[in-house]
């Protein structure tokens, strides 16, 4: 699939504006990519509609092709939807700050409870108490005890004979008396949503008045994540999401679905079974993962950042005044390429099958070639750069000598320049800026 997307990105060259026509195929592929990453269908539909709206008539920046520009728009919209920036755990409450964990069975609640405990103990130097309200499986309480001890936090005992609400109240009471900073409340999950479970957690929420109600969701949960998220959102005022098992090979489209349905920020990502396997969620990185083309995205961002808009505009103004395209401009173009990090670094960012085709050796050669051209132009006098027609045999020899190259190479560069100049003349007037942007790469 990524192959196909890449091919489309390449096909869409030669157009300076994103149009209805050239965007259809791309969007179809993006839609497929999202569905394959297990983003829920209604969420995909909304998303594609937003991207389409943003993309219509958008000018294509710098040396980007419209297809690449569209990938950029898709990526930015993904990041915006999942929430840019860091959302840390909120402890702004009269201690103990209560954190309630919610989610299906097996989502990773107990593990995440211990991970959070460890984080709060070690990084934020808090006194942390954990308690399990999972009275349905005796092993669940033992599990929390074990991992809490590993996390270096304190564990409040409970038994399967107790009611979850009584356990929670007793733990809260204990936490207050012992000046705990944080009380983490682990809860029972069921294999599927059921009303008893939902009522139970609603009651817990009412009794505990938590500052954080975290919805723990398995990144591997596919299309169904949307239904789970909806049920929990209806039952509880969620304040954050923890996306677990991101170390698996799921593309993690659940992030997009769950975020859109609940409106709550994705605060953490679980990246291993171990207690140090908790990371602050990174929307940018995750966007690349969902699209399955993180490298192209990086390339697009690099090009967008590297293009010197001011220089481009000056250049355009100059052409309009009729000063013509000279070797100094040609040099500027070559240098802009270099500014983008060099060809081989750009090639590194393309999907492997593409860069393999280009071949690492060739890229090295192309880069050397670029440096040589730069050297040749730099060996010219300002007058020669402005009036290349002055460059005859003697001057050529001098320039070649200065740049440490053969005269043939100077000839080759001059020919290339002439071709470029011809192109520049053709595009004077009309679509000047657009054409120029295309030439940038
Ligand atoms: P709960 O039923 O919601 O309490 O889920 P658990 O915390 O017991 O986790 C269920 C399983 O998922 C356990 O085997 C955990 O070790 C595993 N698990 C939880 N979080 C992660 C994670 O981020 N990565 C991986 N690989 N496994 C995880
Ligand atoms: Mg559990």
Judge if 106 and 65 occupy the same domain: no
CATH number for the domain spanning 410: value is 1.10.260.30
Render pLDDT for 63-104 as a digit per residue (tens, 0 to 9): 566 666 777 788 889 888 898 656 788 999 999 999 999 999
Atom of ligand 1 nearest to the CA of 244: 23
Judge if 53 and 104 occupy the same domain: no
The rounded Å distance from CA 75 to ligand 1 centre is: 29
The rounded Å distance from CA 2 to ligand 1 centre is: 30
Judge if 181 and 257 occupy the same domain: yes
Residue nearest to atom 5 of ligand 1 (CA): 108
> Of 237, 269, 297, at which residue does a domain stop?
297
Atom of ligand 1 nearest to the CA of 216: 3
Q: Residue 246 annotated as binding?
A: yes
Atom of ligand 1 nearest to the CA of 278: 23
Residue nearest to atom 6 of ligand 1 (CA): 108
Render pLDDT for 326-366 as a digit per residue (tens, 0 to 9): 888 888 777 766 655 554 555 454 444 344 444 444 556 76
Residues by chain with Cβ below 5 Å of ion ligand 2: 109-110, 140
Render pLDDT for 200-226 as a digit per residue (tens, 0 to 9): 999 999 999 999 999 999 998 878 888
Q: Which of 244, 276, 277, 280 to mutate to test the pocket of ligand 1 (most atoms within 8 A of CB)?
A: 244
Render pLDDT for 129-149 as a digit per residue (tens, 0 to 9): 999 999 988 799 999 999 999
Render pLDDT for 379-406 as a digit per residue (tens, 0 to 9): 898 889 888 989 999 999 999 998 889 9
Judge if 190 and 229 occupy the same domain: yes
Judge if 209 and 312 occupy the same domain: no
Judge if 22 and 110 occupy the same domain: no
| Residue 73 structural domain | 2-85+292-297
Judge if 202 and 324 occupy the same domain: no
Mean pLDDT across the stretch 420-438?
Answer: 56
Q: Which one of the ligands is nearest to 140 CA? A: 2
- Has residue 29 been placed in a domain? yes
> Of 297, 328, 354, at which residue does a domain stop?
297
Judge if 351 and 239 occupy the same domain: no
- Has residue 274 been placed in a domain? yes
Judge if 145 and 180 occupy the same domain: yes
Q: Which one of the ligands is nearest to 114 CA? A: 1
Judge if 363 and 253 occupy the same domain: no
The rounded Å distance from CA 166 to ligand 1 centre is: 26
Q: Residue 186 annotated as binding?
A: yes
CATH number for the domain spanning 58: value is 1.20.120.140
Residues of the chain above pLDDT 90, percent: 44
- Has residue 429 been placed in a domain? yes
- Has residue 381 been placed in a domain? yes
Residue nearest to atom 19 of ligand 1 (CA): 108
- Has residue 92 been placed in a domain? no
CATH number for the domain spanning 108: value is 3.40.50.300
Count structural domains, the chain: 3
Judge if 317 and 428 occupy the same domain: yes
Within 6 A (CB) of ligand 1 lie 103, 105-111, 189, 244-245, 247, 270-273, 277
Render pLDDT for 7-38 as a digit per residue (tens, 0 to 9): 555 554 444 555 666 677 778 878 888 888 88
Report the complex ipTM: 0.99
> Of 297, 327, 344, at which residue does a domain stop?
297
- Has residue 271 been placed in a domain? yes
Taking the model in full, what pTM does it have? 0.67
Q: Which of 111, 133, 134, 143 to mutate to test the pocket of ligand 1 (most atoms within 8 A of CB)?
A: 111
Q: Residue 329 annotated as binding?
A: no
Atom of ligand 1 nearest to the CA of 101: 3
- CA-nearest of 289, 235, 299 to 104 is 235
- Has residue 246 been placed in a domain? yes
Q: Residue 359 annotated as binding?
A: no
- Has residue 276 been placed in a domain? yes
Q: Which one of the ligands is nearest to 137 CA? A: 2
Judge if 347 and 376 occupy the same domain: yes
């Amino acid at each position: 699939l990524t192959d196909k997307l890449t091919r489309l990105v390449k096909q869409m060259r030669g157009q300076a504006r994103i149009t209805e026509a050239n965007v259809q195929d791309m969007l179809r592929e993006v839609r497929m990519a999202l569905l394959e990453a297990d983003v829920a269908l209604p969420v995909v539909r909304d998303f594609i509609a937003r991207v389409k709206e943003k993309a219509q008539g958008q000018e294509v920046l710098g040396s980007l092709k419209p297809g690449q520009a569209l990938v950029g728009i898709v990526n930015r919209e993904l990041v915006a939807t999942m929430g840019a920036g860091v959302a840390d755990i909120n402890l702004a409450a009269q201690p103990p700050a209560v954190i309630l964990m919610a989610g299906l069975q097996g989502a990773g609640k107990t593990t995440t409870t211990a991970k959070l405990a460890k984080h709060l103990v070690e990084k934020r130097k808090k006194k942390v108490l954990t308690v399990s309200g999972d009275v349905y499986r005796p092993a669940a309480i033992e599990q929390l005890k074990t991992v809490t001890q590993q996390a270096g936090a304190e564990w409040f005992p409970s038994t399967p004979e107790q009611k979850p609400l009584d356990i929670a109240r007793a733990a809260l009471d204990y936490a207050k008396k012992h000046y705990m900073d944080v009380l983490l409340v682990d809860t029972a999950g069921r294999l599927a949503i059921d009303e008893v479970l939902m009522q139970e957690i609603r009651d817990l929420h009412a009794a505990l008045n938590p500052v954080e109600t975290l919805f723990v969701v398995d990144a591997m949960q596919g299309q169904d994540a949307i239904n789970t998220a909806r049920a929990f959102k209806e039952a509880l005022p969620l304040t954050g999401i923890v996306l677990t098992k991101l170390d698996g090979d799921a593309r993690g489209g659940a992030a997009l679905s769950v975020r859109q349905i609940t409106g709550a920020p994705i605060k953490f990502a679980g990246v291993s079974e171990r207690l140090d396997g908790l990371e602050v969620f990174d929307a940018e990185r995750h966007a690349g993962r969902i699209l399955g083309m993180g490298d192209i995205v990086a390339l697009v961002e690099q090009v967008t950042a590297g293009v010197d808009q001011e220089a481009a505009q000056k250049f355009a103004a100059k052409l309009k005044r009729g000063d013509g395209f000279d070797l100094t401009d040609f040099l500027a173009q070559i240098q802009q390429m270099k500014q983008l990090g060099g060809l081989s670094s750009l090639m590194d960012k393309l999907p492997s099958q593409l860069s393999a085709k280009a071949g690492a050796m060739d890229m090295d050669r192309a880069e050397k070639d670029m440096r040589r051209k730069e050297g040749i132009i730099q060996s010219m006098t300002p007058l020669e750069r402005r009036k290349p027609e002055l460059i005859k045999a003697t001057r050529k020899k001098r320039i070649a000598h200065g740049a440490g190259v053969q005269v043939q190479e100077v000839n080759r560069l001059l020919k290339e320049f002439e071709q470029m100049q011809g192109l520049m003349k053709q595009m004077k007037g009309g679509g000047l800026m657009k054409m120029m942007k295309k030439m940038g790469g």
